[in-house]
């Protein structure tokens, strides 16, 4: 039975990695594809490669937070398997139906939901740190992207700077894919820390899963994101990507999983304010925020119910 549970947990982790590659990494190369720097299949592969590098190089901090930082002690194997199965299923459903369900919210919600079923002690200082960062991210991202967009608009005019803009856009997409891997791999492999597998091997497992997910399942999303970003222009795209990446890098340093949907939406709004207005609908933004909160609660409730029924 324990061997079967081990296999189920690893499969669930791989499935989660595929989901992250398809949903969280793909947006990084949407602007790059829209600029004509590369085709969509090559963009998907490049995004996956940079995400793999980020996973292995800097994924340990968030992995530690998810695996043993949120709760007192490491997650049990069965507990981790349910967390991954529930969270990955919700993310895949969101990808299929274009529903904005942040991976970080679903995994953290599932971990906390499982704590009530298994009577784990919750490490409230860590949880408070994560919640505080989630609350601060939209405001900082908006302000940072506004400043960056102002700087780019002043010192990098569209006419005569096409080549510089193209390379800067490629760098921005690559950096965001890197931080997406580093900040998200822990969501896929953190619940497996109780297995007798080295942390390096876990990071490679998660990173390769994310790479495959980005390469095989993200071209459709990259095409969709390319259209969205092409409407805001390359310089605003650079400001949005760099802002989200910097905030993700800060989160990685402190071991806090960040929602890239949250950061990138706020940064797009901030870069749009350079034009004196933004095309974002306040009602749509409110609906998106409500959807994120619902995702967090839903993942926690489902995980609690499943854990209570089977363990």
- Give the span between the Cα atoms of 59 and 242, in whole angstroms: 19
Q: Is 163 exposed, middle or buried (0-12, 13-18, 19+ CB in 10 A)?
A: exposed
Task: Report the pLDDT value the prediction gives residue 222, as an integer from 0 to 100.
Answer: 64
Residue 41 has pLDDT above 80, yes or no: no
Q: Which of 114, 113, 115, 87 is nearest to 101 (CA)?
A: 87
Please give the C-alpha separations between residue 294 and each of 100, 114, 137, 146, 271, in angstroms, as whole numbers.
Answer: 11, 17, 19, 29, 27
pLDDT category, 200, cuts 50, 70, 90?
Answer: very high
Counting residues of the chain whose pLDDT is more than 90, the rounded percentage is 36
Question: 128-142 pLDDT, tens per residue?
Answer: 999 999 999 989 998
- Give the span between the Cα atoms of 144 and 243, in whole angstroms: 6
Residue 295 has pLDDT above 80, yes or no: yes
pTM of the model: 0.89
Q: 2-16, 76-90, 223-237: lowest mean pLDDT where? A: 223-237
Q: What is the DSSP letter of 39?
A: -
Task: Report the pLDDT value the prediction gives residue 252, as an integer from 0 to 100.
Answer: 93
Residue 27 has pLDDT above 80, yes or no: no
Number of domains in the chain: 1
Residue 229 has pLDDT above 70, yes or no: no
Local structure of 71: helix, strand or coil: strand
Q: What is the mean pLDDT of residues 44-52?
A: 89
| Segments forming the whole domain that contains residue 140 | 2-310
| Mean pLDDT estimate for the chain | 84
């Amino acid at each position: 039975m324990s061997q079967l549970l081990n296999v189920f947990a690893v499969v669930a982790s791989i499935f989660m990695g595929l989901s992250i590659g398809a949903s969280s990494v793909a947006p990084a190369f949407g602007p790059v594809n829209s600029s004509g720097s590369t085709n969509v299949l090559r963009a998907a592969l490049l995004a996956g490669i940079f995400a793999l590098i980020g996973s292995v190089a800097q994924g340990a901090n968030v992995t530690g937070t998810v695996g043993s930082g949120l709760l007192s002690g490491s997650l049990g194997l069965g507990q981790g398997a349910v967390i991954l199965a529930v969270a990955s299923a919700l993310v895949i459903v969101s990808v299929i139906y274009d529903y904005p369900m942040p991976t970080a919210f679903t995994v953290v919600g599932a971990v906390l939901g499982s704590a009530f079923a298994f009577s784990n002690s919750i490490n409230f200082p860590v949880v408070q740190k994560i919640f505080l960062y989630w609350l601060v991210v939209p405001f900082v991202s908006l302000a940072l992207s506004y400043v960056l967009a102002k700087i780019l608009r002043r010192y990098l005019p569209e006419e005569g700077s096409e080549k510089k803009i193209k390379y800067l856009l490629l760098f921005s997409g690559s950096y965001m894919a890197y931080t997406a891997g580093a900040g998200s791999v822990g969501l896929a492999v953190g619940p497996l820390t109780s297995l007798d597998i080295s942390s390096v091997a876990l990071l490679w497992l998660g990173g390769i899963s994310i790479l495959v997910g980005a390469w095989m399942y993200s071209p459709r999303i990259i095409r969709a994101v390319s259209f969205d970003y092409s409407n805001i222009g390359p310089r605003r795209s650079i400001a949005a990507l760099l802002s989200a990446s910097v905030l993700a890098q800060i989160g990685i340093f402190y071991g806090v999983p960040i929602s890239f949907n949250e950061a990138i939406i706020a940064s797009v709004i901030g870069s749009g304010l350079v034009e004196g207005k933004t095309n974002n609908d306040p009602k749509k933004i409110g609906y998106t925020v409500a959807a994120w909160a619902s995702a967090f609660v839903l993942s926690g409730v489902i995980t609690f119910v499943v854990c209570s029924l089977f363990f």
